[in-house]
Structure 1
Amino acid sequence: MPWNLPEPMLSAPVSQPDLRPGWAAEAKWDGFRALLSADAGKVELRSRRGTDMGPAFPEIVAGAAQLPDATALDGELVVWEENRLAFERLQKRLQRRGAGAARAADEAPAHFVAFDLLRLSGTDTTAWPYQRRRAALESVFVAQHLSAPWALCPSTTDPDTVKEWLTWAAVGIEGVVFKRLDGSYQQSVRGWLKYKTRETTEAIVGGVTGPLTSPRSLLLGRYDAQGRLQYTGRSTTLARAAGSTIAGHLTPAGPEHPWTGWSFSAGWGTTEKLTVTLVHPKLVVEVGVDVARDASGRWRHPARLHRARPDLSSADVPLQSTPP
């Protein structure tokens, strides 16, 4: 009977990074979730949504020759560049094929960070408890002497180690994932827990979408070291009451606005453009953001508005900087 990759097991968000008794924690990477199967020379590399990613990542497909036959892994595709995980490099590779994909693999090779074992030498391991799957996964790395593009995701039952991982945001560790030691791998079930590192910070409102009297979202900026207002991200959709409150602090911008003539994407990785009204960049807002950033230091995910801070000036806002 043929064996097929299962649908990936999922995680539910939690608000605190507490490591519970009977659970293990793994670092959460800023990359693409991927499942891989190597069986009789055939390699399948699949995204969380079922997309075939093999042609875009030939170095991962070629690397599968290091694995035992009839073995399958769950993990994360990442690209490491200049001491950080470069998600934008990963994003650009999805549409590459053939010679273009091969060039991209040479210029910015991807790695597969394995965090679960789904099949081992023909044996389906998804019913095994996590603790047993993890031990077997570690044994595969040792016995096969796995090297690039393979990397083993760290796992711990030590709360102090979890706290340390949460300080690694600058290099692209988004948070932690918690897994029951006695839990099986349940496809499509949110049986894991995830905590994403977030920070509260300030930004300047440089533009809005929607009417100026009731903005739907905010375009946020920060000044760089040269005194230029740089776009740093967009807010989530505002509640009506929040939009009304913000509107009372906004004034339309004149032609001297530093973003005049700019266009803004509707989302990270999409070509759809927003209809934007620029405003005088004076209002400071407090927002909650996660740690995922692109090479320019922009927030990849929308920021959550906490409150307007008309008591602050642009001098109170951190400067825009690129990740290390």
Structure 2
Amino acid sequence: MLDAEGRGWAAEPKWDGFRAQLAVWPGGRVLLRSRQGTDMTASFPEIRAAALAQLPADTGLDGELVVWEHGRLAFERLQQRLAWRGRGAAEGAGQWPAHFVVFDLVRADGADLTGWPYERRRAALEALFTDHRLEAPLTLCPSTTDPAVARAWLKWTAAGLEGLCFKRLDQPYTGGVRAWRKYKVRTTTEAIIGAVTGTLEPPRTVLLGRYDAAGRLQYVGRSTTLSARLGRALGDVLVPPAGAYPWQGWTFSAGWGTQRTLDIVLVEPAVVLEVAADVARDGAGRFRHPARPHRIRTDVEVGQVALFGEF
């Protein structure tokens, strides 16, 4: 938490979206690109239009693209938006409009500000929003040096906020996030083991499920690599499925944003595992990031696990 970081640090909310850089060049050229350099301008015409209308030329911003749906950040809608171009992008902007949450100013009036300390860049960023009356879909990311304010932001996790980022006030701009400290909110919950990667003795990771209201086992996410101790313990209790299995023929992605699929071994869905999962979920409540396994819950029956879609 902020009070543990000591003086000289600022805290910002950590958003569940796409890290992106937005630049307006002289002559009306706009570029919205990912941290990896992918040009995303055509997929988000509402951000391009706002940049042209509101930002002075020769301005560079760093921030996070986010989409809201039903009062929560919807990362999967961002992924859909990224794949759309032309007419599809315009339709996507109407259905799932994006916001660009700005947390840094790296170029202003043609001057490179990356060597400035965070505190000075932050003051210039706030002045930019005030002087040019910037408004949605351009949004100023909150920043604070007050531990009480930072702790209050953690209540926003119900809306999909992942946690907090900490940045030194005297730190120059760096393109990555290695110089930042991150605090992610995790919740402890239970899920049913439906498959594993590796072998049954011992498994490497587990695939987790929950039953929906109709009694169908739905996939909710994957674990991080199991410890040797937990892997051996699970190898003693997991068995192949006894009959028809709901995930027979299914394929599972190795992660968000990859086409690689997992080789899995199905197991009888009879073992409950307690895991720690962060708050990044899709609209159905699936874990977007691997959950950390804690322990086998022999005291919890499968029927006692929360239903699919319950957070």
Contact 1:85–1:172 (CA<8 Å) still a contact in 2? yes
How far is 1:223 from its partner? 2.7
- 3-state DSSP of counterpart to 2:162: strand
Count of residues in Structure 1 that have an aligned counterpart in Structure 2: 309
Corresponding position of 1:201 = 189
5 Å matches for 1:67-146?
Answer: 67-146=55-134
**Uncovered stretches (5+) of structure 2, i.e. residues with no partner:** none
How far is 1:251 from its partner? 1.6
**Distance in structure 2 (CA, Å) of the matches to 1:316 and 1:81:** 29
Deviation string 1:131-177 (CA, Å, 9 cap, x unpaired) is 22111111111111112220110111111111111121121110101
**Uncovered stretches (5+) of structure 1, i.e. residues with no partner:** 1-14
- Letter paired with 1:296: A
5 Å matches for 1:159-308?
Answer: 159-188=147-176, 190-308=178-296
**Distance in structure 2 (CA, Å) of the matches to 1:232 and 1:127:** 44
**Distance in structure 1 (CA, Å) of the matches to 2:96 and 2:3:** 32
**Structure number having the greater helix percentage:** 2
Corresponding position of 1:319 = 307
Deviation string 1:76-133 (CA, Å, 9 cap, x unpaired) is 0001111011100001122222222222122111110000110111222222221221
Q: 2:48 aligns with which of 50, 53, 61?
A: 61
TM-score, normalisation: structure 2 = 0.92
Contact 2:42–2:86 (CA<8 Å) still a contact in 1? yes
**Distance in structure 1 (CA, Å) of the matches to 2:70 and 2:216:** 25
Change beyond 3 A, Cα 1:16–1:234: farther
- 3-state DSSP of counterpart to 2:36: coil
RMSD of the alignment, in Å? Answer: 2.0
**Distance in structure 2 (CA, Å) of the matches to 1:287 and 1:17:** 28
How far is 1:293 from its partner? 0.3
Change beyond 3 A, Cα 1:95–1:189: closer
Contact 1:16–1:195 (CA<8 Å) still a contact in 2? no
- Letter paired with 1:64: A
2:2 pairs with 1:30: no
Change beyond 3 A, Cα 1:108–1:179: same
Contact 2:17–2:66 (CA<8 Å) still a contact in 1? yes
Q: 1:50 aligns with which of 33, 37, 42?
A: 37
**Distance in structure 1 (CA, Å) of the matches to 2:258 and 2:81:** 14
**Distance in structure 1 (CA, Å) of the matches to 2:305 and 2:234:** 18
Change beyond 3 A, Cα 1:291–1:16: farther
**Distance in structure 1 (CA, Å) of the matches to 2:256 and 2:29:** 33
How far is 1:315 from its partner? 4.0
Corresponding position of 1:11 = none
Taking only the aligned residue pairs, the percentage that are identical comes to 59
**Distance in structure 2 (CA, Å) of the matches to 1:38 and 1:124:** 14
Contact 1:19–1:157 (CA<8 Å) still a contact in 2? no
**Distance in structure 2 (CA, Å) of the matches to 1:189 and 1:233:** 26
Corresponding position of 1:39 = 25
- 3-state DSSP of counterpart to 1:191: coil
Change beyond 3 A, Cα 1:136–1:296: same
How far is 1:292 from its partner? 0.5
Contact 1:295–1:322 (CA<8 Å) still a contact in 2? no
Change beyond 3 A, Cα 1:251–1:46: same
Corresponding position of 2:7 = 21
- 3-state DSSP of counterpart to 1:156: coil
Change beyond 3 A, Cα 1:90–1:187: closer
**Distance in structure 2 (CA, Å) of the matches to 1:77 and 1:150:** 10
Change beyond 3 A, Cα 1:16–1:282: farther
Contact 1:220–1:234 (CA<8 Å) still a contact in 2? yes
Change beyond 3 A, Cα 1:317–1:17: farther
How far is 1:193 from its partner? 1.1
Contact 1:84–1:171 (CA<8 Å) still a contact in 2? yes
